[in-house]
Structure 1
Amino acid sequence: MKKTMKRTMKRTLLLALALSGLTAPSSGLIREYHHVQLRKSWSDAQSYCREAFTDLAAVEDQSDSDRLLSVLRGPGAQAWIGLHDNKTGWRWALGEEDFLDDYTNWSPGQPNHKNYNQSCLTMTSSGQWLDRECRITLPAICYYDKGPAQFILVEAQMTWHEARAYCRSRYTDLASVRSRSENTRISSLVTVYTWVGLHRTTWAYWSDRTPNTFSNWNQGQPNIRGTAVDSCAAVGTGTGLWWDVDCRAENTFVCQKVYSRQRQTFRLRLRSKADLKDPAVQQQILDQLHQKLEQHGLDDFKLRWMRTLHREQEEEEEGTVCFYRGGHLLWVGSFNRTFEALVGHLGE
């Protein structure tokens, strides 16, 4: 009789867990925003946030933007967030290598960032370098590394990005200039302003080095121009829209506390006449939960069974499964004879 009951219990549990659903994990960091009511420059605010929290606030999507707005106080003001325009972050198109200043030939006063998006390099017939808006159309110098390396003048008028695509499709890439001799060779081909491969991405990274793929600029922003001003982003406390502001200005600021975790939700339904006080039943449930969690990409965790009682219905006994990972209790799920438990898992 006992063996029959265990076989029935096993079939019942297997059926119930086979029908249970597991949602796909949502990726990304959990950001907790804090509006600090102190007035500091952007760099001082960054230092404060890194000491007291994690960093200045980063905003990766509209959900982050909405939550950021919800913590802002004092309508009509501005508060620093973690975005700034790194005007030294130049890179060569070929290999996307960082520009290390080993060799430069900037014209006096260059780069001058005359317009906030002057972020692509041109060369003159004298070999001098100037930054220009990437959207204007100019000839280009391509580089070809097959056989004897050579530079090729392309006289067709193209934007910088069109020129890069053209050079990559027909040669190797837009030309890099890493020595005086290369600069002389290229300038000998040039008669008017001509594209070469140096460029930078404006407003590319947040303070915590998260790539910037989302924007919420106010109309006409960003608009700071010129080398005298270092540009940082501030959020309007009443609107949540971003403004391009001199980094030396003093504003309140938003810090973030970041939890490097993934959120995952499990919905489990079990109907069984099995006795949940029976250790064999409890182990059967734990074994099958363990298998299900592993099938959905979780590892390095432990499941533990605890027994509890409903306060309102003390005659109905309930089981509780505790989920441990890395020594930390992450979620608790409740089980009674007929149950539906929704539990949240915060993974490391």
Structure 2
Amino acid sequence: MDGKAVRRLVIVGLCILHSCCYQVTIIVREAKTWTEAQSYCRENHNDLLTINNVEESTMLGDSLRNSDKEFWLGLYGNFYNFVWSMVQEGFDEEGQAEYSNWQRSQPNLDKGTINCVNIATTGEWSDTDCWLELPFVCYNDSSANRYLFVDQTMNWTNAQTHCRKHHTDLASVRNESENNEIGSIIQSYSWIGYHRVSWMWSDGQARHVHSFNNWGTAQPARVRGYCATTKNGKWTERPCSDKYFFICNETMKKHVRIKVVLTKSDSSKNLEEIQDAILRQFNEIMKKNQISEQVRLKWIEQPDGTIYQKTEEQEWTEKQDFDCVPPALP
């Protein structure tokens, strides 16, 4: 097949792909608990609604601006969702990421969107407000002295930035020996890399320290047993056992068939034999345009089992099937 014909085919085939997949919100005006709403959305749609950015939040606020009701979102409090700042493949052996050395009655801070962990000179841990300014411990994987005490007070986020800029990250603690080592070099309560991302989305999308939030004033005040509603675009924590209307999301799939006319310049080539090569070129162009994860391509077979059909004008035609599929959930 002529090279230009392949490129022309690709251009024609891609021109409508960008609009073939889209998300829709389904507003359900039936009061349910958060768990009941989650089950309904998963059975009938995708899941409870996730909001990732200002644009999505604004669109939802506009659609609900005439409503005085609160609606469940997919956001729920997870009191025990503690994670380490440093995520490095091969760093933790099996079970080491779960090591902890909490002080008695800790953790106990049941508020906020994130909470951060400090270590005492005794080696015991406690959770506290991340905006408190404390000295901190960095980890450096290229130094003989892996743990470095920084006797300069910063909030947890700024301490994380400092460690990542000058070393590797805030310190992770994998076992009792490392915990004792850190306790021996600090002079007072100090930040380590452990922190709790207190709120998670029902569909499993990851949240972190810098994730989008749109909480109302003084929200959230509690975490354990609480889920999030929205009203006028703002989020409020409510007991998950309360009943509210709710919002589901769903990925709409648009199945597109495109008929492309090809001019065959080399009569010795069999188009059926090079169809995989053509498909690879389609996929390569989509990859360059960052849409390969949203679109699935396949050839459509004719009733007689062939893909290409000769027209009266002695041109070869083929049909390309574009199938949009939603990304898999984590």
Q: What TM-score range do you get, normalising by the shorter chain?
A: 0.5 to 0.7
- Structure 1 residues 68 and 118, CA, compared in 2 at 3 Å: closer, same or farther? closer
Which 5+ residue runs of structure 2 have no aligned equivalent?
262-274, 287-295, 303-316, 326-330
Q: 2:230 aligns with which of 208, 216, 235?
A: 235
Question: What is the CA–CA distance in structure 1 between the aligned matches of 2:149 and 2:198, rounded to whole Å?
Answer: 27
* Amino acid in the other structure paired with 1:300: K
Shift of 1:82: 0.8
Match of 1:124 in 2: 120
Question: What is the CA–CA distance in structure 1 between the aligned matches of 2:238 and 2:116, rounded to whole Å?
Answer: 23
TM-score, structure 1 length as denominator? Answer: 0.63
TM-score, structure 2 length as denominator? Answer: 0.66
Question: What is the CA–CA distance in structure 2 between the aligned matches of 1:150 and 1:295, rounded to whole Å?
Answer: 44
* Amino acid in the other structure paired with 2:240: C
After the TM superposition, which residues 1-348 of structure 1 pair with which residues of structure 2 at under 5 Å, given as runs? 23=15, 25-26=17-18, 30-61=22-53, 64-65=56-57, 68-69=60-61, 75-95=67-87, 102-146=98-142, 148=144, 150-203=146-199, 205-211=200-206, 215=212, 217=214, 219-220=216-217, 222-225=219-222, 229-236=224-231, 239-259=232-252, 261=253, 296-297=285-286, 299-302=297-300, 325=321, 347-348=324-325
Of structures 1 and 2, the larger Rg is shown by: 1
Kept in 2: contact 1:123–1:196 (CA 8 A): yes
SS at match of 1:164: helix
Shift of 1:175: 1.8
* Amino acid in the other structure paired with 2:47: D
* Amino acid in the other structure paired with 2:204: R
SS at match of 1:94: coil
- Structure 1 residues 157 and 33, CA, compared in 2 at 3 Å: closer, same or farther? same
SS at match of 1:178: coil
- Structure 1 residues 301 and 210, CA, compared in 2 at 3 Å: closer, same or farther? farther
Shift of 1:184: 2.1
RMSD value, Cα: 4.4
SS at match of 2:237: strand
Match of 2:312 in 1: none
Identity %: 28
Kept in 2: contact 1:25–1:263 (CA 8 A): no
Residues 237-269 of structure 1: CA deviation (Å, up to 9, x unaligned): xx233222222222121122223x589999x9x
